[in-house]
């Protein structure tokens, strides 16, 4: 996901002068087939979309395994697939470090967040955070952080789509790429508008299966070429890329600052996942907390196995194609996986893998959009503006309008950030999730004294400090890959603000609570605790 981040940054820039590999027509037809099949499924799935619970939470009708697969589909973005493979192919061991952070992060979600959230909330993260605190200010703050995280994540995905297209379809000019971004955006709007959460979930399930199956086939293939011996594969990669690819430090061992930056990133990764709103929202699509637990277990196994595949694929690309050839190829570092597919199975396998990569972007974008729309219509419109009493049917209507607006913003923004530093956008999303959302989530679930002031300080402070530090970091100005070239106003040395903004979010929540004069209602706090642990009163599946 955000790995693309660091790598796609370069590739997006390189994308301008690229040519395609394989057959663009084949790539487009396979992708077209995916779109056609998923659209039919979305249409069929959407027949029962009547209430808000149907639209936002798919009627809570998914099983744990289904939802777990969808979570994997949501989490394993094209960037995760292309980015990690490329990172390992070129930087060797340092690329592997990302997958570990992404995976271990799920334990935070499993142990501390998933079930308790499912038991206390209804549709959005704000449901849980505002349960025993003052509704309107807390909801507004939670909706703000949700929208900010979703929006930056969305922009990164859209920008990634543009870069990917240039590689796979041979569309090199800016106008052509903009058209493709608009097409991706329009498709996404249709999926979400028509299918709601149910349709979106099915798209993610199908995509996750395709992605994991594709990666599995390539992994077995690569291993077969090396006598099913990992050591032999590593040896081949080292022979081509130098002994250093097997050891840590190639990318992050350059200076003390880069080492510190890595710690900051590691912190944001491991704590960010459980605060990502589109991941949290998936817990509401299952009928019970037990199913939420099963979802996370499935997600952990699928994501973990997938990252093991990428280890083999990355070293395989390093061994069979070579780091220099990958860097020189169109799409740069992100082209490792497609190039490996081409090397192994020719144009057909390349076409399949490319279509999967597209499908991946589409599914992730759809998941983000529905989360943002739900947050706006449920938290801002229904709860804050209409004070919890929206006219019947209006909430879903507002959600649908929001989908279209967000879609248009994402398309325009995606075209605007073409060739921009994607690291900026995704690092922001992860850092904001970890700094603004996670402290408040954990405090409200586990600390009875936690107060409204603590929540507001933590959310706005975490959000503000993360964004503030990124603005004055090398990703925005003063480095070769900076968003704004020609000026240098950076004074914060790290690319990722996590090491400062995450502790700050926790400290502000604690400080705000200690300085609160008004105590929160202890009866509601007791209710929340009882509900969160027992699942009493949690909304179950809707039946039609």
Min dist CB 126 to another protein, Å, is 9
In terms of CB distance, is 235 or 503 closer to another protein? 235
Q: Which is nearer to another protein, 104 or 223 (CB)?
A: 104
Helical residues (DSSP H) of 130-173, grouped into ranges = 135-169
Output the CA–CA distances (angstroms, integers) from residue 419 to 163, 168, 174, 232, in the order listed: 7, 16, 9, 38
**Three-state SS at 477:** strand
Q: Rg of the chain's alpha carbons, rounded to an integer?
A: 22
The phi and psi torsions of 131 (rounded to 5 degrees) equal -55, -50
Three-class secondary structure of residue 59 per DSSP: helix
First to last CA, the chain: 37
For residue 422, give every residue at least 6 positions away whose Cβ sits within 8 Å of its Cβ, in sequence order, or none. 4, 5, 8, 9, 12, 79, 156, 159, 160, 163
Q: Between residues 234 and 417, which has the closer beta carbon with respect to another protein?
A: 234
Nearer to another protein, 38 or 264 (CB): 264
- CB of 58: closest distance to another protein in angstroms? 18
Q: At its nearest, how many Å lie between another protein and the CB of residue 8?
A: 23
| 263 or 348: CB nearest another protein | 263
d(CA 102, CA 105): 5
What are the structure tokens assigned to 224, written together? 């077969």
Residues of the shown chain interacting with another protein in the complex, contacts defined by CB under 8 A? 93, 96-97, 100-101, 103-104, 106-108, 110-112, 120-122, 127, 130-131, 135, 229-232, 234-235, 238, 246-249, 252-253, 259, 262-263, 266, 270, 290, 293, 296-297, 300-301, 304, 307-308, 378, 382-383, 388, 446, 522-524, 526-531, 533-537
Dist CA 483 CA 272 (whole Å)? 23
Q: How far is the CB of 249 from another protein (least distance, A)?
A: 4
Pick the closer one to another protein by CB: 300 or 366: 300
Give the nearest distance from C-beta 537 to another protein in angstroms.
Answer: 7
Of 180, 36, 10, 66, the closest CA to residue 541 belongs to 66
Judged by beta carbon, residue 29 or residue 229, the one nearer another protein is 229
Among 96, 80, 87, 103, smallest CA distance to 247 is for: 96
Count Cα atoms within 13 angstroms, Cβ side, for 290.
3
Q: Nearest distance from residue 247's CB to another protein, in Å?
A: 4
CA distances from 190 to 200, 279, 474 (A): 10, 21, 37
Choose among 171, 162, 164: nearest CA to 19. 171
Taking each helix axis from N to C end, the angle separating 174-225 and 289-320, rounded to the nearest 10 degrees, works out to 80
Q: How far is the CB of 495 from another protein (least distance, A)?
A: 15
Q: What is Dmax (Cα atoms) for the chain?
A: 68
Of residues 28 and 529, the one with the C-beta less far from another protein? 529
Nearer to another protein, 5 or 238 (CB): 238
Shortest distance in whole angstroms from residue 374 CB to another protein: 12
Stated as kind and residue range, the H or E segment containing 9 is: helix 2-14
Q: Closer to another protein by CB, 166 or 532: give it.
A: 532
Q: Please report how close the Cβ of residue 182 comes to another protein at its closest, in angstroms.
A: 35
- Closest to another protein by CB, 177 or 273: 273
Q: Which is nearer to another protein, 212 or 341 (CB)?
A: 212
**Whole-number Å distance between alpha carbons of 397 and 377:** 9
In three-state secondary structure terms, 386 is: coil
Tokens of 359: 């499908």
Name the minimum Å distance from CB 189 to another protein: 25
For 85, phi then psi, to 5°, come to -55, -45
Least Å distance, CB 242 to another protein, is 13
**At its nearest, how many Å lie between another protein and the CB of residue 371?**
17
CA-to-CA distance for 162 and 147, rounded, in angstroms? 22
Single out the residue of 99, 165, 67 nearest to residue 362, CA to CA.
165
């Amino acid at each position: 996901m955000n790995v693309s981040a660091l790598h796609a940054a370069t590739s997006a820039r390189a994308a301008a002068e690229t040519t395609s590999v394989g057959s663009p027509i084949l790539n487009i037809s396979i992708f077209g087939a995916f779109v056609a099949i998923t659209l039919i499924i979305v249409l069929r799935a959407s027949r029962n979309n009547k209430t808000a619970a149907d639209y936002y939470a798919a009627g809570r009708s998914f099983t744990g395994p289904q939802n777990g697969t969808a979570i994997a589909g949501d989490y394993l973005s094209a960037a995760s697939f292309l980015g990690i493979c490329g990172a390992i192919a070129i930087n060797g061991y340092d690329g592997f470090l990302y997958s570990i952070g992404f995976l271990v992060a799920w334990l935070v979600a499993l142990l501390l967040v998933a079930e308790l959230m499912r038991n206390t909330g209804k549709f959005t993260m704000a449901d849980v955070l505002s349960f025993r605190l003052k509704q309107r200010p807390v909801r507004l703050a939670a909706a703000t952080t949700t929208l900010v995280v979703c929006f930056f994540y969305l922009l990164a995905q859209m920008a990634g789509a543009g870069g990917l297209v240039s590689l796979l379809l041979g569309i090199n000019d800016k106008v052509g790429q903009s058209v493709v971004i608009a097409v991706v955006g329009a498709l996404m709007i249709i999926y979400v508008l028509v299918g709601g959460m149910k349709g979106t979930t099915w798209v993610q399930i199908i995509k996750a299966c395709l992605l994991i199956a594709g990666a599995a086939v390539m992994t077995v293939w690569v291993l077969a070429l090396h006598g099913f011996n990992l050591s032999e594969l590593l040896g081949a990669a080292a022979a081509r890329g130098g002994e250093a690819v097997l050891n840590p430090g190639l990318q992050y061992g350059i200076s003390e600052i880069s080492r510190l930056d890595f710690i900051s990133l590691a912190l944001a990764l491991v704590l960010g996942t459980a605060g990502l709103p589109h991941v949290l929202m998936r817990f509401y699509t299952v009928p019970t907390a037990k199913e939420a637990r099963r979802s996370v277990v499935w997600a952990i196994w699928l994501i973990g196995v997938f990252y093991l595949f990428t280890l083999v694929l990355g070293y395989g690309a390093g061994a069979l194609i070579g780091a220099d050839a990958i860097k020189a190829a169109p799409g740069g570092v992100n082209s490792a996986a497609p190039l490996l597919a081409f090397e192994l199975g020719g144009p057909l396998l390349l076409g399949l893998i490319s279509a999967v990569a597209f499908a991946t972007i589409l599914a992730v974008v759809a998941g983000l959009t529905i989360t943002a729309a739900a947050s706006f219509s449920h938290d801002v419109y229904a709860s804050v503006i209409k004070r919890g009493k929206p006219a019947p049917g209006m909430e879903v209507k507002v959600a649908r309008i929001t989908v279209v607006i967000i879609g248009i913003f994402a398309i325009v923004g995606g075209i605007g950030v073409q060739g921009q530093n994607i690291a900026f956008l995704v690092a922001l999303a992860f850092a904001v999730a970890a700094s603004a959302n996670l402290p408040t989530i954990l405090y409200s679930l586990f600390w009875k004294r936690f107060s409204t002031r603590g929540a507001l300080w933590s959310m706005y402070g975490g959000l503000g400090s993360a964004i503030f530090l990124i603005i004055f970091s090398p990703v925005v100005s003063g480095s070769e890959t900076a968003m704004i070239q020609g000026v240098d106003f950076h004074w914060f040395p790290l690319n990722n603000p996590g090491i400062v903004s995450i502790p700050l979010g926790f400290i502000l929540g604690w400080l705000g609570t200690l300085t609160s004069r008004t105590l929160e209602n202890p009866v509601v706090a007791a209710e929340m605790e009882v509900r969160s642990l027992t699942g009493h009163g949690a909304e179950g599946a809707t039946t039609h």
